[in-house]
């Protein structure tokens, strides 16, 4: 199924008239018609780059990722943005005072999960 649509999009590309300055015979080296996914994503590219053999002092894209913070992260209320001292054990949302707590308990599920997703805390593991 997928290769078919892939082909379709390829023919589409060709039907769009190429500008004159483009080499009419040029085809991307990476494109193999049988392959489903042609272009690698950044993660794949970086993993590939890391897997190759390099001299020991080589600096790669993946080697300049910033380190984790050295200070504990500050906690802010999920509904007002104020510094939060408390966490609701039921929804796992953070809140700053009693009013906010009352509001949190009234929030529908989708908003709660959306707020947790915002700080990537919605996974059960975390």
Partner 1 sequence: MDDLSSSEIYQFADARTIPDPIFPYTENLNGIPIVIDNGSFQCRVGWATQDEPCLQFRNCYAKHRKDRGKKMPATTELLVGNDISNLEAVRFQLKTAHDENVVSHYQAQELLLNYSFSHLGITDSSGIQHPIVMTEPLLNPQHCRALMSELLFECYNVPCAAYCVDGLANYYHNQEASSSSGLQDGLLVHIGHHTTHVIPILDGGADVAKSRRIKVGGHSLAKFLCRWLQLQYPHQASNITLSRAELAEDEQELERLSELCSAMSEFRQYQPEYQHALEEAGVATIEDLHKKIAAMQIKICKTRAKMAQEPVEEEGRLSPGPGGAGLPEDAEEAEEVLEAMQREWTSLHERRAARRSKRQEMAKRRTAASQERMRLISQLAKREKKDDHFGRRDEDWDVYKAINKEGGGSDSEDELERLQELTATLRQHRPHFLAEGGTQPLTEAQRNQILLTTEMIRTGEVLFQPSLVGLGQGGLADTIAYVLGLFSPADQQRLVDHVVVTGGLATMPGLVDRVRHELRAIRPFMSAFSVRAAQELIQRRMRISVEFQEELALWSSPEHCSSSGLTVQLPFAAAPATAAVDPAVQRERRREAARRLVLINARKREEKVAVNSN
Whole-number Cα distances in Å, 126 to 40, 121, 122 = 29, 6, 7
Under 8 Å between Cβ of 88 and 82: no
Site for partner 1 in 83-102 (CB under 8 A): 83
The reply on whether position 14 binds partner 1 by CB under 8 A is no
Report the distance separating Cα 100 and Cα 87, nearest Å. 11
Widest distance between CA atoms in the chain: 69
Report the distance separating Cα 120 and Cα 97, nearest Å. 23
Applying CB under 8 A, among 1, 2, 4, 12 the residue interacting with partner 1 is 12
Report the distance separating Cα 113 and Cα 101, nearest Å. 16
The minimum distance between CB 91 and partner 1, in angstroms, equals 12
The reply on whether position 40 binds partner 1 by CB under 8 A is yes
The minimum distance between CB 20 and partner 1, in angstroms, equals 5
Mark residues 51-90: x for contact with partner 1 by CB under 8 A, - for none: ------x-xxx-xxxxxxxxx-xx-x--xxxxx-------
Q: What residues does 83 pair with on adjacent strands? A: 76
Where on the chain is the footprint of partner 1 (CB under 8 A)? 12-13, 16, 18-23, 25-31, 38-42, 45-46, 48-49, 57, 59-61, 63-71, 73-74, 76, 79-83, 105-106, 108, 111, 114-115, 118-121
């Amino acid at each position: 199924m997928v290769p078919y649509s892939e082909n379709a999009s390829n023919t589409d590309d060709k039907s769009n008239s190429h500008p004159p300055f483009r080499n009419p015979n040029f085809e991307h080296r990476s494109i193999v018609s049988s392959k489903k996914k042609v272009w690698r994503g950044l993660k794949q590219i970086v993993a590939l780059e890391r897997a190759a053999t390099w001299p020991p002092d080589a600096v790669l894209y993946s080697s300049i990722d910033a380190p984790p913070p050295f200070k504990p992260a500050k906690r802010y209320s999920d509904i007002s943005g104020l510094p939060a001292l408390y966490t609701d054990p039921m929804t796992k949302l953070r809140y700053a005072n009693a009013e906010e707590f009352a509001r949190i308990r009234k929030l529908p599920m989708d908003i709660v999960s959306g707020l947790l997703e915002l700080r990537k805390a919605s996974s059960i593991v975390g």
